[in-house]
């Protein structure tokens, strides 16, 4: 049991080290251009109460 807990702690520690080391190297760049909608498709034309619908949106 102790070995299992220890291995989980080591893996968590390794993950956090990799994550925290990668943050300072990341450069935040925001894309502020508005998306251009190309096509919108619906899975159904008529939807009744209790049914679901899927919407597909193509954008650039």
pLDDT in tens, 1-53: 566 777 878 888 877 776 666 655 556 677 788 878 888 888 888 888 888 88
Predicted TM-score of the model (pTM): 0.35
Say which residues have a Cβ less than 8 Å from residue 43's Cβ, sequence separation at least 6.
53, 54, 55, 56
Say which residues have a Cβ less than 8 Å from residue 60's Cβ, sequence separation at least 6.
35, 36, 38
Q: For residue 10, give its domain range.
A: 2-59
> Taking a C-beta distance cutoff of 8 angstroms, is the pair 53, 44 a contact?
yes
Q: How many domains does the chain have?
A: 1
pLDDT in tens, 7-21: 878 888 877 776 666
Query: With bands split at pLDDT 50, 70 and 90, how would you rate the model's confidence at 55?
Result: confident
């Amino acid at each position: 049991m102790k070995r299992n807990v220890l291995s989980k702690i080591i893996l968590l520690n390794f993950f956090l080290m990799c994550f925290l080391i990668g943050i300072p190297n990341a450069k935040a760049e925001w894309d502020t251009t508005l998306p251009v909608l190309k096509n919108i498709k619906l899975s159904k034309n008529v939807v009744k109460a209790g049914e679901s619908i899927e919407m597909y949106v193509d954008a650039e």
